[in-house]
Structure 1
Amino acid sequence: MIRNLLRSVPALVLALMSLLPTPASAAGGRHQAAGPDPVVFVHGWNSDGSTWETMAGRFRADGWPAGRLDQWTYDTTQSNATTAARLADEIQRVLDATGATKVDVITHSMGALSSRHYLKNLGGSAKVDAWVSLAGPNHGTETARWCGGAACAEMRPGSAFLNALNSGDETPGSPRYATWGSPCDLLITPASSVALTGALNSKTACLDHSGLRTDRAVYEAVKAHVR
């Protein structure tokens, strides 16, 4: 009888171990990774991350954890290529912090350019699930001729930066690309600059340049795209 009891001990131990909680070090990563993709917001020229308060607040109200909404701020006077390298670091930081494997990137205006450079030239397409451009000067804007500095020069139609960015595939890799442009946006001229070949391209109601960040209908469409 004792011999039979001893034989049953290993099975009993295994059964009891299966009831114990998973170690925190293993469970933590799985717990953090659960949930929607983190969203990294990339603002436009002469702006900062606070301009996303309305849209980020709506995402929070609709169930996105605050820790997965990154209203990133960067120096808009530097080249968009430099910003793209900084964005690569920021996205990796967000992935490490959340345990996610990919992020969604939502951009406004000039933010489209640095993020596209990241996707095309810095391996970003492997780390981004959905990409959004609101009022992006993807093929340049004539109004950039009235401002100075590296970033503005790169936004001018026909710039070397834009020619390289738009050569070949405008929507490379596996991310789901989408753009929204307004017929009443006086800062992006021509309005056709926004659309990208291979993206889901949409026109909004008559909104001004900043209105694309705060309009409820645009938010709902963007949310459906990144969900």
Structure 2
Amino acid sequence: MLSASIAALLTTSLLGLASQESSAAPRSAPAAAHDPVIMIPGMTGSPANMNAMKSNLQTNGWPANRLFTWTDSSSMTQDLAKAAKELSAKVDQVRGQTGADKVVLATWSASTLAARYYIKNLDGADKVSQYIGFAGPQHGTTNNGCQWYVACQQFASPNTPFLQALNNPSEVPFNDKVDYLTIRSTADYNATPTDTAKLAGADENYLMSGPTAPNHLVIISNATALAKMRSFITAHEND
């Protein structure tokens, strides 16, 4: 009888605990992961140029396994259309590795053009959620004394065949699928004039000016520029 009573009490207690647990609020699901970010340097650059950006994102909550640096063709000195094809392969590799549907492209200088070519002419519009262009010669540059490189010839002026084709009929191709941010600085003496880095129709064209405005080389590690990039990414993640 004693054993039966103890068993009954245990059963009642366990049922009560089960009832309390089932009535408790369910645990919150983990927040959705950021889209992977592929960071791409400009002409003659190396992936190491983007390490400060990568570190900044990681410090601010991006998992290391969602952050990638990359460059070609050959370090953005050759045909930027070829670089776009190589970028397509990199995007597919990152998507396969992470399981993500789309990636964010964070580009600098000449690679801003290769990335737009990828979105417009290849399969990028369905695989890129956001395009971020730092200091891009989107409409050519007057500082074009580098024309021994094919890439430099392609953005030596606003009227090169490459830019004419890339910028028409829209400077932000497939902007119903891709969000666009450009970041430019009045202290940039490489991508000149300053407004060459703007894209008509972009979600945001962010201008940095004043005594603390960064030059072309440090804009990708500038704290204010990186904060703008982060806030733009998070603001548009559910678009």
* TM-score for both structures, normalised by structure 1: 0.83
User: How far apart, in 1, do the equivalents of 2:188 and 2:78 lie?
Assistant: 24
Partner of 1:84: 84
User: How far apart, in 2, do the equivalents of 1:218 and 1:77 lie?
Assistant: 25
User: How far apart, in 2, do the equivalents of 1:89 and 1:78 lie?
Assistant: 17
- Aligned letter for 1:42? I
Partner of 2:68: 70
User: How far apart, in 1, do the equivalents of 2:70 and 2:93 lie?
Assistant: 11
User: How far apart, in 2, do the equivalents of 1:47 and 1:123 lie?
Assistant: 25
The answer to which of 78-87 and 153-162 deviates more is: 153-162
For this pair of structures, how many residues does the alignment match?
196
Give deviations 1:122-146, integer Å, cap 9, x for gaps: 0201111111001000001121233
- Shift >6 Å, 4+ stretches: none
The answer to which of 205-214 and 52-61 deviates more is: 205-214
Q: How does 1:66-145 map to 2 (within 5 A)?
A: 66-74=64-72, 75=74, 76-145=76-145
Partner of 1:194: 197
Q: How does 1:215-226 map to 2 (within 5 A)?
A: 215-226=222-233
Q: How does 1:1-227 map to 2 (within 5 A)?
A: 35-74=33-72, 75=74, 76-157=76-157, 158-173=159-174, 174-199=177-202, 200-205=204-209, 206-227=213-234
User: How far apart, in 2, do the equivalents of 1:147 and 1:209 lie?
Assistant: 19
Identify, as 1 or 2, the structure richer in helix.
1
The answer to which of 141-150 and 62-71 deviates more is: 141-150
User: How far apart, in 1, do the equivalents of 2:214 and 2:90 lie?
Assistant: 30
Q: Which runs of 5+ in 1 are unaligned?
A: 1-30
Q: Which runs of 5+ in 2 are unaligned?
A: 1-29, 235-239
Pairwise CA distance, 1:66? 1.3
- Aligned letter for 1:94? V
User: How far apart, in 1, do the equivalents of 2:131 and 2:233 lie?
Assistant: 8
Give deviations 1:83-130, integer Å, cap 9, x for gaps: 000000000000000000000010011110000000000020111111
Pairwise CA distance, 1:201? 0.5
* TM-score for both structures, normalised by structure 2: 0.79
Percent identical: 32
- Aligned letter for 1:100? A
- Aligned letter for 2:199? L
SS in 2 for 1:145: coil
